[in-house]
Amino acid sequence: MDRIEAAFAHRRDSAALIPFLNASDPDLDTSLELFRTALRAGADIVEIGAPYSDPLADGPVIQASALRSLRAGFAFPQVFEVAAHLRQETDKGLVLFTYVNPVLQYGTERFFRDAAAAGADGAIIPDLPWEESEPIRKAADRAGVHLIPLIAPTSSEARIARICQDARGFVYCVSSLGVTGERARMSERLQALVSAARRSTDLPVAVGFGVSSPEQAANIATFADGVIIGSAYIRRVEAAVTAQPDTSAGREAAVAAVRTFTESLRQAVAGKGAIRQSGAGALDDRSPATSTPD
């Protein structure tokens, strides 16, 4: 059983909790401590963002985070450095989040080789179209790193099936259209999207993009295997470091904010897996999903 599989299996009575943070925001050492804190407070997998100057899938909160990181001197190999430090301390899942252009510039084979050497279990590349993913997926497979695909509310069931057949690690369900960012409401098609994925794969299905509160996480946990939260974490980090004129005090406040938020999310999703498995509050996976064209 690999570490991503184990992370979901460990939470049979719950949903896996998957925070996203950017490496080197607000600086490298502080970001490492934020990842550590999230893992210690109950996260099962962490997504380690590699800041990029043109983050097409990200909203203003994560874009600002990437800019802070780049201004702090982030260089692409530091994403492997963060993963390597964490791997020395934990056997939980580590997933890198980046864009296709940095991967190609770095070298695809080199990227996955270095990811594996650092102890990363998977990678998410949100702007990589499924139709163009095969060479990159094969490079990931050769390195033993899961290339985790995304499916969206606009995906037809046929397209979902094709993507899921090539999936590795878990399937990432995008909760709503547009870029990342907190939202008051989730897509009405979200449960159907998760069900459509389940009809095509036995891999875990996690939901991200727009999850902003413990209440939303608790609801998603009743029908999905994992909950991914990014902007809500980064907004708390940003508030902490900007509210404190003293740098060390701001860092301590950011760590405390990540700890408190992770604990609240862990408590919110606790026990929801049993509800999901019993079928209460979830769509029957055999029911037809409403589809839109590719």
**Full pLDDT tens readout for the chain, 294 residues:** 899 999 999 887 889 999 999 999 999 999 999 999 999 999 999 999 999 887 676 778 988 999 999 999 999 999 999 999 999 999 999 999 999 999 999 999 999 999 999 999 999 999 999 999 999 999 999 999 999 999 998 889 999 999 999 999 999 999 864 444 444 455 568 899 999 999 999 999 999 988 889 999 999 999 999 999 999 999 999 999 999 877 899 999 999 999 999 999 999 998 876 555 544 333 333 233 333 323
pLDDT reported for residue 180:
47
In a domain, 149, yes or no: yes
In a domain, 256, yes or no: yes
| Nearest alpha-carbon partner for 84 in 14, 28, 138 | 28
pLDDT reported for residue 271:
82
Catalytic residue chosen out of the listed positions 58, 114, 121, 238: 58
Catalytic residue chosen out of the listed positions 2, 27, 29, 47: 47
pLDDT in tens, 25-48: 999 999 999 999 999 999 999 999
Cβ contacts of 120 within 8 Å, gap of 6 or more = 48, 80, 83, 87, 94, 95, 96, 145
| CA end-to-end distance (rounded Å), the chain | 34
Q: At what angle do helices 214-221 and 247-269 cross, to 10 degrees?
A: 30
In a domain, 78, yes or no: yes
In a domain, 287, yes or no: no
Lookup result for tokens 């993963």: 83
Q: Are 24 and 241 in contact (CB under 8 A)?
A: no
In a domain, 229, yes or no: yes
* CA atoms of 20 and 40, how far apart (whole Å): 15
pTM above 0.85, yes or no: yes
pLDDT reported for residue 272:
75
pLDDT reported for residue 138:
98
Q: Is 131 among the residues known to form the active site?
A: no
Structural domain boundaries, residue 128: 3-278
Q: Is 58 among the residues known to form the active site?
A: yes
What total of structural domains would you count in the chain?
1
Residue 105 is part of a domain; what is its CATH number?
Answer: 3.20.20.70
* CA atoms of 220 and 251, how far apart (whole Å): 31
pLDDT reported for residue 99:
95
* CA atoms of 170 and 175, how far apart (whole Å): 15
